[in-house]
């Protein structure tokens, strides 16, 4: 069986291909996505849980962590962030590490993906 992230990716891809909103599917009485055969109600629930989880994580971030996360997502390096915030580069690295621990990410790519799913950018 596919994991949750894969199901979510398949759902989003299928939805984008169809170009139909959920309301259009409901009007036709269909509860299946035409291209993927996935149960949209189940996937909507998964999507909602994923977004709510991200919102909960976002609430646990300090103002400074949120600010640094936005700057990371915008593509700035630790050195650039440090200059912009008038802080030491090591301080920015500390905040980045705290972000990765709080959001349970292992690398920068996951951190950015998490930020995007939380609506931070």
CA distances from 19 to 22, 24, 25, 27, 34 (A): 10, 10, 11, 15, 11
Predicted pLDDT at 42: 74
Give the global pTM: 0.55
Predicted pLDDT at 114: 86
Q: What is the CATH number of domain 60-121?
A: 1.10.10.10
Predicted pLDDT at 33: 45
How does pLDDT run across 52-100, given as a tens digit for each residue? 555 556 668 899 999 999 999 999 999 999 999 999 999 999 999 999 9
DSSP character at residue 32: B
Residues with Cβ < 8 Å from 39, sequence gap 6 or more?
Answer: 31, 32
Predicted pLDDT at 99: 93
Boundaries of every domain in the chain: 1-59, 60-121
pLDDT-wise least confident of 22-26, 39-43, 96-100: 22-26
How does pLDDT run across 96-114, given as a tens digit for each residue? 999 999 988 999 999 998 8
Predicted pLDDT at 38: 61
């Amino acid at each position: 069986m596919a994991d949750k992230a894969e199901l979510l990716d398949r759902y989003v891809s299928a939805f984008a291909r169809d170009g139909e909103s959920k309301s259009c599917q409901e009007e036709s009485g269909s509860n299946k996505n035409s291209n993927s055969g996935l149960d949209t109600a189940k996937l909507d629930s998964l999507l909602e849980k994923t977004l709510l989880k991200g919102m909960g994580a976002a609430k646990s971030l300090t103002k400074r962590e949120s600010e640094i996360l936005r700057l990371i997502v915008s593509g700035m390096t630790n050195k650039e962030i440090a200059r912009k915030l008038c802080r030491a580069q090591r301080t920015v690295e500390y905040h980045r590490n705290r972000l990765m621990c709080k959001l349970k990410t292992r690398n920068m790519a996951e951190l950015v993906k998490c930020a995007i799913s939380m609506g931070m950018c």
